[in-house]
């Protein structure tokens, strides 16, 4: 009996040892894989640096010496055309290898710094290429360029240093700018974790361009169809004017795509612009990917006593226009708090939060994103809609919503000033297929018929070719043509 007991104990010990050895083997195998991947990456970096070093030597032999063009030509010759992206960034030439996405900074002496990832380094450029005019806009070729632009717009001197003619121009807030490529605010692994940015923010936080009422952006910014990716804006739930841009006055912002971004604040919060005023036009801009726009309703009101939280624009006042814009983010636009106090107005919308004080309008836009309002108490004039929360004094035209819209007060459904397209507005040629507080849309017009009607409106009102046409998206619902 004793012998059998000893044998059983020995068997158990043997099994435990086997399990431990198996676990060690699994972890060892995992470490081997990780080490192999690390070795591969280090070899790729070594190869990239060797290619870059040889190209630097070759470019220095050219008559004009090493510059963006000669280094780019040398890299094309050695590594293959289109395998690298070469740009100037202040005193540096920045070389990005397409395959691994790694960036290297080359100083005037040919010294190499890096690699760095796609994301913003946290640095700023020393100036911008271009003259800031319509014919020669300042080029935004890197995140460092965009950060430099932001600093100069928000600064007291309002100066941009031109790298084209080595002159200073006091036009930062009114100049012409154009984006030349997709830019990443943060690295890809952080962006993949965007759903946790509430509690686990990424490395780089963005301060808006035109961050307050004394440094409004009044220039011309052409996104040129490129994307700004992974932006994180969060200075507290009592802060105003949050977005890529804070306040834009008499400005034009067009053809800009904001992707996988997170914007949080109190009031006047937008995925692209917090507030627009004067004669500002927002045209052909969009919020995409997995993006989140959040407003707590906190902060001090302006005399306009309007609050707005929107996927593209938070609040529009005076004679502004939002045209050809859309929000197809898989995230949400959300209010969670008290948007308004006393007896003012406000709104939450997938594209535009609210508009007031003039003939501000919105036309030819669509939304597929979830719009959520969770009021802390019954609002007096708060409005929630798939495209726009509330808009006063003017009609809104040619809008389509397919996103879900919900509004609650202290957890209970609240249907007042709530709509699939708009919570409070005069609608012309507008359609909704999204649910409203869980209720299925009563729209009986087929998507194909709506497509035809939307395009007919464009044809009848397109005297200046200002409106984009619509197309079917995979045969389901209409979307704007790019």
Q: Can you tell me the distance from the alpha carbon of 93 to that of 114, in angstroms, rounded to the nearest whole number?
A: 12
How buried is 30 (Cβ within 10 angstroms: 0-12 exposed, 13-18 middle, 19+ buried)?
A: exposed
Q: What pLDDT is recorded for position 412?
A: 85
Helices (H), 207-310: none
Residues of the chain with CATH 2.160.20: 210-215+223-480
Decide if pLDDT at 252 tops 50. yes
Which of the listed ranges 142-146, 190-194, 322-326 does the model predict with the highest average pLDDT? 322-326
Q: Can you tell me the distance from the alpha carbon of 473 to that of 482, in angstroms, rounded to the nearest whole number?
A: 12
If pLDDT is split at 50, 70 and 90, which confidence band does 406 have?
A: very high
Q: Are 381 and 343 in contact (CB under 8 A)?
A: yes
Q: What pLDDT is recorded for position 386?
A: 97
The residue behind tokens 């004793």 is: 2
Torsion of the alpha carbons at 409, 414, 419 and 425, rounded to the nearest 10: -80
Decide if pLDDT at 219 tops 60. yes
Q: What pLDDT is recorded for position 342?
A: 44
Q: What pLDDT is recorded for position 96?
A: 81
The secondary structure of residue 69, as a DSSP letter, is: H
Q: Mind listing the pLDDT tens digit for each residue in 198-217? A: 999 999 999 999 999 999 99
Q: Mind listing the pLDDT tens digit for each residue in 44-84? A: 888 999 999 999 999 999 988 999 999 999 999 999 988 88
Decide if pLDDT at 89 tops 90. no
The secondary structure of residue 237, as a DSSP letter, is: T
Q: Mind listing the pLDDT tens digit for each residue in 377-388? A: 776 667 899 999
What pTM did the predictor assign?
0.79
Concatenated DSSP letters for 371-404?
EEEEESS--SSEEEESSEEEEEEEEEEEEEE-S-
Q: Can you tell me the distance from the alpha carbon of 197 to that of 234, in angstroms, rounded to the nearest whole number?
A: 10
If pLDDT is split at 50, 70 and 90, which confidence band does 343 have?
A: very low
If pLDDT is split at 50, 70 and 90, which confidence band does 341 have?
A: very low
Residue of 168, 282, 162 lying closest to 220 (CA atoms): 282
Decide if pLDDT at 234 tops 70. yes
Mean pLDDT of the chain: 88
In CATH, the architecture of 210-215+223-480 is: 3 Solenoid (2.160)
Q: Can you tell me the distance from the alpha carbon of 436 to that of 421, in angstroms, rounded to the nearest whole number?
A: 10
Lowest average pLDDT, out of 96-110, 156-170, 407-421, 428-442, goes to 96-110
For CA atoms 218, 289, 437, 387, give the dihedral sign: positive
If pLDDT is split at 50, 70 and 90, which confidence band does 297 have?
A: confident
Lowest average pLDDT, out of 5-19, 285-299, 392-406, goes to 5-19
Concatenated DSSP letters for 154-200?
HSSS--EEETTTTEEES-TTT-EEEE-S-EESS-HHHHTTGGGTTTS
Q: What pLDDT is recorded for position 115?
A: 75
Which of the listed ranges 34-43, 80-89, 93-102, 338-347 does the model predict with the highest average pLDDT? 80-89
Cα 58–chain centre separation? 39
If pLDDT is split at 50, 70 and 90, which confidence band does 101 have?
A: low
């Amino acid at each position: 009996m004793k012998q059998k007991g000893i044998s059983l104990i020995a068997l158990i010990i043997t099994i435990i040892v086997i399990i431990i050895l198996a676990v060690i083997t699994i972890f060892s195998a995992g470490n081997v894989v990780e080490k192999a991947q690390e070795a591969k990456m280090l070899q790729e970096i070594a190869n990239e640096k060797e290619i870059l070093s040889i190209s630097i030597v070759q470019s220095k032999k050219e008559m004009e010496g090493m510059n963006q063009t000669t280094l780019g030509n040398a890299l094309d010759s050695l590594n293959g055309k289109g395998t690298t992206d070469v740009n100037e960034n202040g005193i540096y030439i920045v070389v990005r290898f397409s395959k691994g996405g790694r960036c290297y900074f080359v100083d005037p002496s040919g010294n190499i710094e890096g690699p760095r990832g796609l994301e913003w380094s946290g640095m700023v450029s020393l100036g911008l290429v271009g003259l800031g005019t319509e014919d020669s806009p300042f080029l935004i070729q890197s995140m460092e360029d965009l950060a430099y632009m932001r600093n100069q717009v928000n600064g007291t001197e309002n100066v941009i240093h031109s790298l084209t003619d080595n002159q200073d121009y006091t036009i930062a807030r009114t100049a012409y700018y154009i984006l030349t490529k997709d830019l990443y605010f943060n690295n890809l692994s952080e962006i993949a974790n965007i759903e946790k940015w509430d509690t686990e923010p990424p490395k780089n936080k963005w301060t808006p361009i035109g961050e307050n009422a004394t440094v409004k952006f009044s220039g011309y910014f052409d996104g040129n169809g490129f994307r700004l990716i992974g932006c994180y804006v969060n200075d507290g739930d009592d802060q105003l004017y949050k977005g890529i841009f804070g306040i834009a006055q008499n400005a034009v912002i067009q053809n800009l795509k904001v992707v996988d971004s997170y914007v949080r604040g109190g009031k006047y919060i937008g995925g692209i612009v917090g507030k627009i005023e004067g004669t500002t036009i927002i045209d052909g801009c969009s919020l995409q990917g997995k993006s989140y726009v959040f407003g707590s309703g906190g902060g001090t009101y302006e005399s306009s006593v309007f609050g707005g939280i929107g996927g593209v624009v938070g609040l529009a006042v005076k004679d502004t226009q939002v045209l050809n814009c859309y929000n197809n983010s898989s995230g949400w636009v959300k209010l969670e708090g008290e948007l308004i106090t006393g007896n003012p107005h406000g709104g939450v919308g997938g594209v535009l939060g609210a508009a007031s004080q003039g003939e501000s309008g919105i036309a030819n836009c669509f939304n597929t994103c979830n719009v959520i309002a969770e009021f802390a108490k019954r609002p007096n004039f708060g409005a929630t809609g798939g495209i726009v929360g509330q808009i006063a004094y003017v009609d809104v035209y040619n809008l389509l919503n397919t996103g879900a819209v919900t509004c609650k007060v202290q957890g209970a459904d609240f249907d007042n000033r709530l709509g699939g397209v708009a919570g409070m507005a005069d609608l012309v040629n507008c359609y909704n297929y999204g649910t409203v507080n869980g209720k299925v849309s009563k729209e009986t017009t087929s998507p194909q018929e709506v497509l035809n009607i939307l395009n007919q409106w464009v044809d009848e009102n397109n005297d200046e070719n200002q409106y984009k046409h619509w197309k079917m998206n995979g045969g389901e619902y209409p979307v704007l043509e790019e």
